[in-house]
Structure 1
Amino acid sequence: MSIEGATERWVRTDGVELCVAELGDAARPTVVLVHGYPDSKEVWAQVAARLADHFHVVLYDVRGHGRSTAPAPLRGGFTLEKLTDDFLAVADAVSPDRPVHLVGHDWGSVQAWEFVTVGRTEGRVASFTSISGPSLDHFGHWIRKRVTRPTPRAAAQLLGQGAKSWYVYMLHTPVLPELAWRGPLGKRWPGILRRTEKVAAGDYPTASLPRDAAHGAWLYRDNVRARLHRPRADAYAHVPVQLITPTGDMFLSERLYDGLERWAPRLVRRTLPAKHWVPRTRPDRLASWIAEFVTANEDTVSRGTAAGAAPGSAPASGPYAERFGGQLVLVTGAAGGIGRATAHAFAEAGARIVAVDRDAEGAARTAETARLVGAPEAWAETVDVSDERAMEKLAEKVAAEYGVVDVLVNNAGIGLAGSFLDTTSEDWKEVLDVNLWGVIHGCRLFGRQMAERGQGGHIVNTASAAAYQPSRTLPAYCTSKAAVLMLSECLRAEFAGRDIGVSAICPGFVNTGIASTARFAGASAEEQKRRQRKAARLYGRRNYPPEKVAEAVLEAVVRDQAVVPVTAEARGLRFLSRFSPRALRAIARIDPPL
């Protein structure tokens, strides 16, 4: 199977022919994607398509896989030395005059570590992104250190990784792996990936899988025992390295990369809440990180300095940059206040931002400043969240053009004050349409996309301390926010089994524009303005900045918190709602000084 839009060529080396696919403009920096086991180059199809707009993207089938031929005999034909010969042949064919940027997943990463630590590849590689595949030499030293200096923690780490590596032992047995892959395992593998990793059906895996997996067993037999027993002492990376570690990887422990800075001094670490096959399950996230890292290091190449003379680190430097870097975050009500502050906080953590608001200019300003403070990409979308059809179109556009949202922040809201008898049915409809139905639309549309992707996510709904504090002058607003709080609790229960967290953020008095724009039911135009000015002054004197609410939003996602009261008064009222509701009812009767 060919990758859509790619041109193919064959590169001959060491008696094998390698099938090489290319996308994008060959005049641009070259990114070489190396697949793992038991994959073929098609595992990278979705990542390659996203990178091809900006780079010359090269994928090749490792010897014995996909459309490449296998060595004869198989034994001894898959050593790291021969795989390095293959890589150099491909690099010389596709980018003879410039170093390439290397990306490897699984065994593609294992062999790529060899490529960037041996002397004969110096000058041919500009950067390396490693995903779910350690250097066998580093792994060997990692084992030695824990065996020679045994501690309870070291023993637990060895046993933990040993359990995760069960398949390695199986692949060293003679004949059985080949029989399994060419028989029942090969037929069932696509279904196994769909069930365990939520890998969608499509152009992967290809029909060559049983043969590829049978041949690939020799990757382990030819290299693992030899390197783990006698690891190289000079396995230092001569290029900048970006390490992407899926936190849910069933085959590799995160502890395996402890001390990696010794071997890769110019190291950038990323973590990804996902399982092993991230090229298929999180292609948008990988493409964003790869593009960012390649661009940072390509700049040094273009300036004529040593590749990666600068660390090549991402511009994002805010709290939780490792957690949110490259994630897609959509924030409604992003033109100002809490929404803008939240978009900026995620941008500082390296997230890609979709700023949504019915104020087109305000949303555009938020997207522009998000890019300035660290977002690798940011877009503005003009939508009224109360318009169901408009929200449906937004969800379709975001999924098609930007990817599936990782974090959704339903923040858009409006204020309405006035007694129940002064509030008209139109007033109620307007408040509920924005404050409640806007949240429902967001949760339904983007939550469904998260669920269908099967890789988890998080939804944050902005409620209010008014969600649990009744008020004689805020019946519509309190009702809308109480509904948002209960909706969040219900969704949290429903989505728990899909690894989608749901948090309700409950701010108190925050210095935003909502006070100056809130309507007062039953008041004349002149009285409206007077009350708005007074409310704005009261909020201004409280002067609790929206940036602190944004910090609470990020923390809620990281910690998967259910209900987060923000500000001292919100926390105090939450306490009273749980332990002294009678006191809240007494407070509700007080007429605020407006």
Structure 2
Amino acid sequence: MAGAGLKGARERRVRTGGIELCVAELGDADRPTVLLVHGYPDSKEVWSEVAVRLAEEFHVVLYDVRGHGRSTAPAPLRGGFTLEKLTDDFLAVADAVSPDRPVHLVGHDWGSVQSWEFVTVPRTEGRIASFTSLSGPSLDHFGHWIKSRMARPTPRRIGQLLGQGAKSWYVYLLQTPVLPELAWRGPLGKRWPKLLERVEKVPAGDYPTPSLPQDAATGAWLYRDNVRARLSRPRPDAFAHVPVQLITPTGDAFLSERLYDDLGTWVPELTRRTLPAKHWVPRTRPDQLSAWIGDFVRTHEEPATRAPRPVAEAAVRSGVRPEYAERFGGQLVLVTGAASGIGRATAFAFAEAGARVVAVDRDAEGAARTAEMARLIGAPEAWGEAVDVSDEQAMEKLAATVAAEYGIVDVLVNNAGIGLTGSFLETTSEEWKRVLDVNLWGVIHGCRIFGAQMAARGQGGHIVNTASAAAFQPSRALPAYNTSKAAVLMLSECLRAELAGRSIGVSAICPGIVNTNITATTRFAGVSDTAEEKRRQRKASRLYGLRNYPPEKVADAILGAVLHDRAVVPVTPEARGVHALSRLAPGALRALARWQPPA
């Protein structure tokens, strides 16, 4: 019988070193094996959401670490949890489930700590194909990290030591005798699920398992048997002999990102990822982890068994800025107005960085084409969705579909927009309504609906709203368009203040004159003759074409805004100039606003 959350799993018992390990398997045993190792105070069920997703493509194996879940504990406990004995357990499981092929190892928390031992000791060479590390450093690397900072105690290094020392408060408590056992078997064990739900936003359900109080009490020996010994006498030869993917949650309350500053010294082949999330990512971000793990496994599987990948992917990704691939790989990004122009370029830029992309547009065929191309140039997955952003009910339905089928959006780009030119007195109420419905209400709908999903998840995110240089520049010729974009800018500023406490960033992107097809669809208020309107559209398109500022540069600015959490980003030189004048010489802009461009 499989554990909670692992329905349909095949279970076996593996005997090693006088104990019995409970091992669960999912997926086709003939496929590459992904072995998931849980942390403290968890059992293998912490991986259930990730395991089910990975089992669609791989042979997935999970086991309860000795003394946890349904595995037996050593007797006596003292000395029974050393890294050497945990390595024996890993080899016994690997030999049982994948005797002829190396396994792809994934560890979280203490599962990652012990897995670092597995990938750095000689006796496991040839048994591991790759390693993905989540929220758990090598104790040897940690020990050297401490020693290097003690040897050269600059203010910055001392600050790093003090910062990690404060985050490690629980480690000191677990070293004490009796108290951890009493706490876990008493009030802490009973309250732990609610604490996780409240502090870490871990969804309630079949995790943690009922064995948690006993698991946590017994697992304290992981710390007692290893931490002091390894931190004081770290191994000098702790070099990884496999490719390593490091996934670092930026909101981890227990581990500083600075712990991994020197990791390149110990890992010859290292891939870094960052994730705006808290510590328990196997439960809060299973979709993201599954995408990254699957991609890493495919990349490092033996050529004969490697899953086919798009031919353009390797070439494209080799030219992607490393910080973009690290930050956005595997994340779910939704872009509106994605059938053309800035929206399409933005979808492609995120795809090249390895993100999963939802391309949204009123033009269903255009959205589908963008999604298809996104897959070819690097997106692990991409989908096209047709929706009118001004339709609130349609946006509600879209958000529900995306959440159910693809996951909660990590980055939302509200880019859909339309143009309208003409004087205020010639602009009808219907024309005002259409511009505001798309340019402003479309953004409001996206922010409200998808922003609420991000906030409810509790793991952060980012919203990008495409405003315009017109947001700072008044113009007698563009009252409706400029008003809509100024409103988007102010909305973004207000929303940024409100959502900051939820770790959700908000950026307003303000392009200037960019070579897109918005000019071909711009309406001209007061012009009833279709031929005349077409003439003006062609003239505007020629002018924008002569400027020839590519939408790809705006897309790059959008990725940079998310990466660095920038509030307002004027993109083109003219946009930056107008933004500066709006602050330094607003009177000059008011004078310029009186200019009447020729028809």
* TM-score bracket relative to the smaller structure: over 0.9
Structure-1 residue corresponding to 2:588: 583
Of 517, 530, 533, the residue aligned with 1:528 is: 533
Of 52, 68, 71, the residue aligned with 2:71 is: 68
Structure-2 residue corresponding to 1:592: 597
Q: 1:142-153 counterparts in 2 under 5 A?
A: 142-153=145-156
Structure-2 residue corresponding to 1:494: 498
Question: C-alpha deviations, 1:570-590, integer Å up to 9, x for none?
Answer: 223223333433333332222
Partners of 1:469 and 1:5 lie apart in 2 by 61
Of 319, 325, 336, the residue aligned with 1:321 is: 325
Distance change >3 Å, CA 584–CA 231, structure 1 → 2:
closer
Counterpart code for 1:132: S
Structure-1 residue corresponding to 2:80: 77
Partners of 1:148 and 1:95 lie apart in 2 by 44
Q: How far is 1:150 from its partner?
A: 4.0
Question: C-alpha deviations, 1:145-198, integer Å up to 9, x for none?
Answer: 333444444433333322222222211111111001111111222222223222
Structure-1 residue corresponding to 2:283: 280
Of 213, 220, 225, the residue aligned with 2:223 is: 220
Q: How far is 1:480 from its partner?
A: 1.7
Question: C-alpha deviations, 1:308-366, integer Å up to 9, x for none?
Answer: xxx9x976723522222221111000111111111122222222211111112222222
Q: 1:311-390 counterparts in 2 under 5 A?
A: 317-318=320-321, 320-390=324-394
Distance change >3 Å, CA 88–CA 301, structure 1 → 2:
farther
Partners of 1:63 and 1:479 lie apart in 2 by 64
Question: What 5-or-longer segments of structure 2 have no aligned partner?
Answer: 307-313
- Counterpart contact for 2:37–2:62, Cα < 8 Å: yes
Of 555, 563, 574, the residue aligned with 2:560 is: 555
Structure-2 residue corresponding to 1:59: 62
Partners of 1:522 and 1:302 lie apart in 2 by 65
Structure-1 residue corresponding to 2:309: none
Q: How far is 1:457 from its partner?
A: 0.9
Q: 1:155-304 counterparts in 2 under 5 A?
A: 155-300=158-303, 302=305
Counterpart code for 2:433: K
Q: Sequence identity of aligned pairs in percent?
A: 80
Structure-2 residue corresponding to 1:510: 514
Q: Does 1:17 align with 2:35?
A: no
Q: 1:123-134 counterparts in 2 under 5 A?
A: 123-134=126-137
Q: How far is 1:527 from its partner?
A: 0.1
Partners of 1:578 and 1:314 lie apart in 2 by 40
Counterpart code for 2:564: R
Matched residue count: 586
Question: C-alpha deviations, 1:241-285, integer Å up to 9, x for none?
Answer: 111122222222222223222322111122222221111222222
Q: 1:426-445 counterparts in 2 under 5 A?
A: 426-445=430-449
Counterpart code for 1:75: R
Question: C-alpha deviations, 1:488-527, integer Å up to 9, x for none?
Answer: 1221122122111111111111111001221112321110
Report which stretch shifted further, 177-186 or 322-331: 322-331
Report which stretch shifted further, 187-196 or 23-32: 187-196
Q: TM-score, normalised by structure 2?
A: 0.94
Partners of 1:548 and 1:149 lie apart in 2 by 43
Q: TM-score, normalised by structure 1?
A: 0.94
Question: What 5-or-longer segments of structure 1 have no aligned partner?
Answer: 304-310
Counterpart code for 2:579: R
Distance change >3 Å, CA 414–CA 209, structure 1 → 2:
same
Distance change >3 Å, CA 107–CA 437, structure 1 → 2:
same
Counterpart code for 1:448: A
Partners of 2:141 and 2:217 lie apart in 1 by 26
- Counterpart contact for 2:49–2:282, Cα < 8 Å: yes
Structure-2 residue corresponding to 1:573: 578
Structure-1 residue corresponding to 2:116: 113
Counterpart code for 1:483: A
Partners of 1:91 and 1:38 lie apart in 2 by 23
Q: How far is 1:26 from its partner?
A: 1.7
Of 102, 121, 146, the residue aligned with 1:99 is: 102
